[in-house]
Structure 1
Amino acid sequence: MALEMRDRCERCTTAVLPPDAPALICSYECTFCVACGEAMEGVCPNCAGELVPRPRRAVGM
């Protein structure tokens, strides 16, 4: 099962997050830009789970 690489921050919705960009995710794949993740102190507002760095994918994959 592949990780869903969402392309927008779920908090600010303005940050574009291509697969090779830094982003933060929780275990449910909620996705946030780094600035929003830091503002939320590393806690997902949807599930209260830990936000961790999302793995990067090569562009075009």
Structure 2
Amino acid sequence: MLEIRPTCENCNTPLPFDSEEAMICTFECTFCKDCVNTVLQHVCPNCGGGFEKRPIRPARLLEKYPVSNKIVHKPVDVSKHNDFLNGPNNKQT
């Protein structure tokens, strides 16, 4: 079951359970759409995978299946991320 993390890992913007702005990778690293599009260039800085829109947990299930309150705030080093994106094995096409 997804944790539904409460904030963007990069900018710490709140991303409540019903946010249309939340994006996740296969390991559930959580970022806002703005960071995914403008900072990360659609590549997770933690695993190198892509992103998908995070599903919205129905409000009626929140009591039985609460969302996480664990904040993961690890601002991305943009220079290192760009180096990773442009590395010999990771050329963007």
Larger relative helix fraction? 2
The amino acid that maps onto 2:52 is V
Query: Residues 42 and 52 of structure 1 are in contact (CA less than 8 Å); yes or no, is this contact kept in structure 2?
Result: no
Structure 1: runs of 5 or more not aligned: none
- TM, length-normalised to structure 1: 0.88
Aligned counterpart for 2:19 among listed residues 18, 21, 31: 21
- TM, length-normalised to structure 2: 0.60
Q: How many residues align?
A: 59
Query: Highest CA radius of gyration, 1 or 2?
Result: 2
Match of 2:44 in 1: 44
- Cα RMSD for the two superposed structures: 1.1
Query: Residues 10 and 32 of structure 1 are in contact (CA less than 8 Å); yes or no, is this contact kept in structure 2?
Result: yes
> Secondary structure, in 3 states, of the residue corresponding to 1:24?
strand
**Identity level (%):** 46
CA distance in 1, matches of 2:49, 2:8: 16
